[in-house]
Amino acid sequence: MSRKNDVIRYGVIGSGMMGVEHILNINAVEGTQVTALADPFEGSQAAGVEAAAGEVAVFDDYRALLESGHCDAVVIASPNMTHVEVLLDVLETDHHVLVEKPLCTTVADCQQVLTASKSHKGVVWVGLEYRYMPPVAALIDEVHSGTVGTIHMVAIREHRFPFLEKVGDWNRFSRNTGGTLVEKTCHYFDLMTHITGANPVRVFASGGQSVNHLDESYDGETPDILDNAFVIVDFDSGARGLLDLNMFAEATFNQEELSVVGDKGKVESLIPEHIMRIGRRGEHSFGNVEIRQVHDDSVGHVGFHHGSSFIEHTKLRDAIWNATEPEVTLNDGLLSVAVGVAAHRSIDEGRAVRLDEIL
């Protein structure tokens, strides 16, 4: 276990695209160092070693990494369907851990992890880093300061490119990912819950696989991952959220657009424009609102997610040094998965699904 201001030694489990992204961010955070990585694939091992840019122990099996004594903390960036097994093994050690989203692919696996974590001594952090994108963080701060008053509606749009290729094409099938509304949009369900400060109670969704991957075949099997959906989430506060997802809309300007509306006004953020707009009822009107350009000069590595992973790792380091609770908890990870699972069930069964059916 690390003491305050000790260099925290990290092992990265899974050094594919996201594993490398974590390595690059850890490199940029003062007081942290990647000292080991584990991946069964030589190509991924080589990519991880190159990204680490220093002496690093390499293992084919993550269990050997956990037993090696090389690490104080680990990042789990292995494929989604492996998270539960890896996490349960990590929780039997004293390692601090950040697990990439989604926490697990099923609610039952998430609940098993929560139970196993109760006696764990280290920090356990779920990688829902979209909270820390500077324009999103600015929106959250503005909303939580009371600008919009009582929150009634949270709308999030992501219009983007299709899923990328992964080693072994594991992300082409819902049985491995948990489904698009778990794999991809757990980020947005977490944001809705975090912004409203309320619990999701009911989900209604419509979605399908309309364009992407339909001409692909793996061992004679066609991918089954959704590429577009609308999801409505009702919260126990009376607030409601809307997700608009499209994964064949890369011919667009802003990939993410978020808006929060309350009885006193509206706040919205646009990414990658990195613009936040603030409208106050009685002060502003159509075409006349406050506009702010949002940047965070503390970001040492921008990476894939506009600096959010760097901020996440800085906060994780501080939690380890100060022995404080994680900002993004296992329960946050569970709820984000549960809403995604409920959304898939809603699509499959053509009805609204209550969260108490899922949890």
Q: Give me the mean pLDDT over the 343-357 stretch.
A: 98
| pLDDT, tens digit (0-9, with 9 covering 90-100), for 169-191 | 999 999 999 999 999 999 999 99
- The H or E element containing residue 228 is strand 228-235
CATH number attached to the domain at 131-299+336-358: 3.30.360.10
For 152-206, the DSSP string reads EEEEEEEE-PPPPP-GGGGGGSHHHHS-HHHHTTHHHHHHHHHHHTS-EEEEEEE
What's the CA gap between 138 and 143, in Å, rounded?
Answer: 9
Looking at residue 159, its pLDDT comes to: 98
What's the CA gap between 104 and 82, in Å, rounded?
Answer: 8
Rounded to the nearest 10 degrees, the angle between the axes of helix 134-144 and helix 308-322 is 60
Dihedral class, residue 30 (left if φ above 0, else alpha if ψ from -120 to 50, else beta): beta
Give the closest residue to 309 by CA, choosing from 50, 89, 77: 77
* Look-up of token digits 């590595």: 301
Sheet of strand 57-59, all strands in order from the earlier edge strand to the far edge:
57-59, 32-38, 8-13, 73-76, 96-100, 124-127
Domain coordinates of the chain in residue numbers?
Answer: 8-129+308-327, 131-299+336-358
Looking at residue 3, its pLDDT comes to: 62
| pLDDT, tens digit (0-9, with 9 covering 90-100), for 65-80 | 999 999 999 999 999 9
Give the closest residue to 108 by CA, choosing from 345, 355, 334, 343: 334
Q: Give me the mean pLDDT over the 128-155 stretch.
A: 98
What confidence tier does 1 reach under pLDDT thresholds 50, 70, 90? very low
Q: Is the pLDDT of residue 328 over 50?
A: yes
CB 317 within 8 A of CB 29: yes
Q: Give me the mean pLDDT over the 127-149 stretch.
A: 98
Q: Is the pLDDT of residue 141 over 70?
A: yes
Output the CA torsion 43→49→125→104 (10° steps).
10
Please give the span between the terminal C-alpha atoms of the chain, in angstroms, as a whole number. 33
Helix (H, G, I), strand (E, B) or coil at 81: helix
What's the CA gap between 334 and 145, in Å, rounded?
Answer: 27
Looking at residue 12, its pLDDT comes to: 98
Q: Is the pLDDT of residue 330 over 90?
A: yes
Q: Which two tokens stand for residue 114?
A: 């929560």
Give the closest residue to 75 by CA, choosing from 147, 30, 20, 113: 20
- % of the chain residues with pLDDT over 90: 98
Q: Is the pLDDT of residue 4 over 90?
A: no
Q: Domain 8-129+308-327 falls in which CATH fold?
A: Rossmann fold (3.40.50)
What's the CA gap between 133 and 173, in Å, rounded?
Answer: 28
Give the closest residue to 138 by CA, choosing from 60, 195, 193: 195
| pLDDT, tens digit (0-9, with 9 covering 90-100), for 22-32 | 999 999 999 99
Q: Is the pLDDT of residue 2 over 80?
A: no
CB neighbours of 324 closer than 8 A, spacing ≥ 6? 318
Q: Which two tokens stand for residue 222?
A: 């066609």
Q: Which two tokens stand for residue 298?
A: 């503390």
What confidence tier does 5 reach under pLDDT thresholds 50, 70, 90? confident
Q: Give me the mean pLDDT over the 83-106 stretch.
A: 98
Q: Is the pLDDT of residue 340 over 80?
A: yes
| pLDDT, tens digit (0-9, with 9 covering 90-100), for 14-24 | 999 999 999 99
What confidence tier does 112 reach under pLDDT thresholds 50, 70, 90? very high
| pLDDT, tens digit (0-9, with 9 covering 90-100), for 191-227 | 999 999 999 999 999 999 999 999 999 999 999 999 9
Q: Is the pLDDT of residue 329 over 80?
A: yes
